[in-house]
Amino acid sequence: MGVRLLGAVVAIGAAAGVLTTPPQAVAAPQSLQWGPCPKVHSTSSAVQCATVVVPRDYAKPNGPTINVTVSRIPARDPAHKIGVLVGNPGGPGGDALGLFSWAPPPAPVRDRFDLVAVQPRGLWSATPIRCAKFNADNDIEALMNYGAINRQRCERQSPGYPSTITTENTARDIEMVRRALGVNKLSLYGLSYGTTLMATYATLYPQHTDRLVLDSAVDPTGVWNRVGNDQTPGYKARVNAMMTWIAQHDNIYHLGKTPLAVYRKWSALVEKQAGVPPSLAAPPAQVGDVPPGLKAVSQQYIAGVNLTADVRARWENFVATMLTGKEQSDSSLLVGTRQLAPDRNYWPIVALRLANKLPRRKAVKPTQEEIAAAEASSNMHNIIMCNENQYPAQPSQIPAALFSNLVVSDVFDAPGLFWGAGIACAGTTPIVRPVATRNRGLAVQPLLINSLGDPQTPYRGAMTLRAQMGAHLITVGGGDHGQLARGNRPLDAAIAQYLITGHTSVTSTPQAPITTPLTRLPGPTSASRSERVGYGW
C-alpha cells in the first residue's frame, strides 16, 4: 500500500451496547500453576503468571480452545486480605499483564487485595492473533475495503479466530479466571476502554462482581466510529494547555512567556524536522504577543490573529505540502506532542525537547518478540473495533478523511475522520452486538472517576456510562487521562476507601501534581506510563 493512513491504528477506548445470547456451560475450574512472566511484558519481580485454557468460542464450549495468561501480585498482608482486584489498562490492545507494575494502587489496596490482570485474547501471551501482510492492488481498493482486507488477512492466518475477539468474550475469559482462582466475587478496575470491559463483566456477572472502579470512562453511544472525532477537539485544547504550562515555566525552559511564543518555537522545530509547518492552529494571542509598533491597536491585532489562526495554519501547511511533497507527520516532535498531550507528567519532556536539552540516547532495537507483540496489539485493536462497530459511518466525512490522511497528514484530525467516515471498517459489517452495559443489581455501587478536560475520554461522554451503571462520580480537575498512581493523595485515599469499605463520599478532587522532574528525563518506571496510557487507553 503506497499511502499513509494515520487513522489506521488509533487507540480509542469506548463502551458497548446490547446483550447477546448466553453461552453454553463451560468446563470445571482449572488449577493455576504460577511462575515467572514472559519478559516482553515488563512486569515487576513481584508479579507471577499462569495460564488458563478457555473456549475459543463460548457458543461452542467443546470446540477449539485458546490459552490466556494471567498475572498476579499477592496481597502484601495476606492475613487481612479481603479480595481480588482484576485490572485492565484499556486499548483495545493494551497489554494488561504489567498494569499493576506501572500503575500500582494505593498502599492499603496493595496490602489487602491480590492484584490480578487477565491478558485480553488476541494479544501476546493470550493466543495472539496472527495476520498476513496487508496487501491491496491499489490505494483506492485499500481505502474502499480497508476493513475487509484486515479481516481477511487475519482469517487467512488465524482461521475462525478473528470473529471470537470481542469485548464480551474477553469478559467471559475473566469469568473463567475467577473460577480458576476459586473466589466467589471479583473487584474490578478498568482504565479507558478497560471501563467498557469491566462494565461488560459486571453486566454479565453481577452476582460475581464486588467493587467496580471505572477510571476515565468512555461514551457507550459512540462505538466505534464516533469516538475518534469526539477526541479531536480535546487533543487540540490539551496542546494549548501544554503550551500555556511551558510559558508559565519560562524561567526553566526559556521558550517564551506566552503560549503563542512557545507555539512559534514549537512550530519552527516541527517545520525543521518535517520540511513543512504544522496545520495545528496556534493558541490565542495575548497582549504580550503584540509587536511594539502595534500597541495602540493591540486589541484589533489580537482579534485578527486569533480569528485567522486556524485558517492560516492549515493554508500554510497545505501550500508547503504541495510545493515540497513532504509531510508534517514526519516530525517526531509533532507526533510526540499529540501522544504525550493527555498526560502532564510528560509535558516537561516536550519542553526539554523543544529547548534542545534532552540527552541523546542510543536507539534500542526491539526484539523479535516485542515486534510480534506490537503487531498482535495492532491487529487485535482493528479486529475487535470492526467486529463491534455500532455507530453509523458518516460518508460525508470521506473527503475530509482523505485530505487529512493522504494529503496533509494531519495527526490530530486524521484518526477521528478515518473512523468517522467509515474507512477503517469499509467492506465489513459488525459480527456482534456488544453487551448493553447496565447495573443489574450490583451489591456495591460502582465508582466512576473522570477528569474534566480528558481528551481521550471526554467528561460529557463518560457521564453516559455513569448513568448506565448508576455509579458514584468523583470529578478530578485538569485533563489527565487515567487517574490511578498519579500521587493524587485525596483521590488515592478515596479509591482505597471505596475498595476496602465499598463506599466513599468524595465527589471531587484537584488534579494530581506533576511528579516527573522538570529538568531531566524521568526514570524508566515512570516513563512507561505515558507509553502505555497513550496507546492503551
Q: Are 433 and 18 in contact (CB under 8 A)?
A: yes
Instruction: Evaluate if residue 472 carries a pLDDT over 80.
Output: yes
Please count the other Cβ atoms lying within 10 Å of the Cβ belonging to residue 527: 15
Instruction: Evaluate if residue 528 carries a pLDDT over 50.
Output: no
Q: Mean of the pLDDT values across residues 404-417?
A: 97
Instruction: Please write the tens of the pLDDT for every residue from 348-399.
Output: 999 999 999 988 777 788 999 999 999 999 999 999 999 999 999 999 999 9
pLDDT of residue 21: 38
Residue 314 is classified by DSSP as H
List helix spans (H) across 103-214: 107-112, 139-144, 146-157, 167-181, 193-204
Question: Which residues in the chain are classed under CATH 3.40.50.1820?
Answer: 39-223+432-535
Structure confidence at residue 7 as a pLDDT band (50, 70, 90)? low
pLDDT of residue 28: 61
pLDDT of residue 240: 97
pLDDT of residue 280: 98
203 vs 216: CA distance, rounded Å: 19
pLDDT of residue 360: 75
Sheet holding 186-191, edge to edge: 48-55, 65-73, 113-118, 83-88, 186-191, 209-215, 447-451, 472-476, 508-509
List helix spans (H) across 212-346: 227-248, 250-253, 259-274, 298-324, 332-340
Instruction: Please write the tens of the pLDDT for every residue from 69-120.
Output: 999 999 999 999 999 999 999 999 999 999 999 999 999 999 999 999 999 9
169 vs 293: CA distance, rounded Å: 66
257 vs 182: CA distance, rounded Å: 59
Q: Are 479 and 462 in contact (CB under 8 A)?
A: no
For the record, the C-alpha cell of 286 comes out as 495575548
pLDDT of residue 15: 31
pLDDT of residue 456: 96
Express as a percent the part of the chain with pLDDT over 90.
87
Q: Are 225 and 419 in contact (CB under 8 A)?
A: yes
Mean pLDDT taken over the chain: 92
Structure confidence at residue 420 as a pLDDT band (50, 70, 90)? very high
pLDDT of residue 526: 42
Q: Are 16 and 196 in contact (CB under 8 A)?
A: yes
pLDDT of residue 358: 85
Nearest CA to 187 among 86, 90, 105, 115? 86
Instruction: Evaluate if residue 512 carries a pLDDT over 80.
Output: yes
Residue 474 is classified by DSSP as E
DSSP string, 34-103: -BPPPGGG---TT-EEEEEEEESSTTSTTS-EEEEEEEEE--S-GGG--EEEEEE--TTT---TTHHHHS
User: With the C-alpha atoms ordered 375, 40, 99, 245, is the resulting torsion angle positive or negative?
Assistant: negative
CA 463 to chain centre: 18
323 vs 276: CA distance, rounded Å: 9
298 vs 289: CA distance, rounded Å: 9
Class at the top of the CATH hierarchy for domain 39-223+432-535: alpha beta
Q: Are 128 and 510 in contact (CB under 8 A)?
A: no
537 vs 532: CA distance, rounded Å: 8
259 vs 445: CA distance, rounded Å: 42
114 vs 390: CA distance, rounded Å: 36
Please count the other Cβ atoms lying within 10 Å of the Cβ belonging to residue 292: 5
116 vs 73: CA distance, rounded Å: 7
Q: Kindly give, in sequence order, each residue whose CB lies less than 8 Å from that of residue 409, ignoring residues fewer than 6 positions away.
A: 4, 6, 321, 327, 328, 329, 330
The distance in angstroms from the start CA to the end CA of the chain is 28
10 vs 367: CA distance, rounded Å: 23
pLDDT of residue 27: 58
Instruction: Evaluate if residue 4 carries a pLDDT over 80.
Output: no
Structure confidence at residue 139 as a pLDDT band (50, 70, 90)? confident
Instruction: Evaluate if residue 521 carries a pLDDT over 80.
Output: no
State how beta strands 65-73 and 113-118 pair. antiparallel
Structure confidence at residue 14 as a pLDDT band (50, 70, 90)? very low
Structure confidence at residue 30 as a pLDDT band (50, 70, 90)? confident
Find the angle CA(458)-CA(461)-CA(464) to the nearest 5 degrees: 150
Structure confidence at residue 23 as a pLDDT band (50, 70, 90)? very low
Instruction: Please write the tens of the pLDDT for every residue from 107-117.
Output: 999 999 999 99
Find the angle CA(144)-CA(145)-CA(149) to the nearest 5 degrees: 155
Cα 91 to Cα 2, 94, 313, 437, distances in angstroms: 27, 5, 31, 18
Instruction: Evaluate if residue 34 carries a pLDDT over 80.
Output: yes
pLDDT of residue 534: 35
Instruction: Please write the tens of the pLDDT for every residue from 446-460.
Output: 999 999 999 999 999
Instruction: Please write the tens of the pLDDT for every residue from 185-220.
Output: 999 999 999 999 999 999 999 999 999 999 999 999
Q: Mean of the pLDDT values across residues 480-497?
A: 97
Q: Mean of the pLDDT values across residues 212-231?
A: 96
Structure confidence at residue 524 as a pLDDT band (50, 70, 90)? low
Structure confidence at residue 12 as a pLDDT band (50, 70, 90)? very low
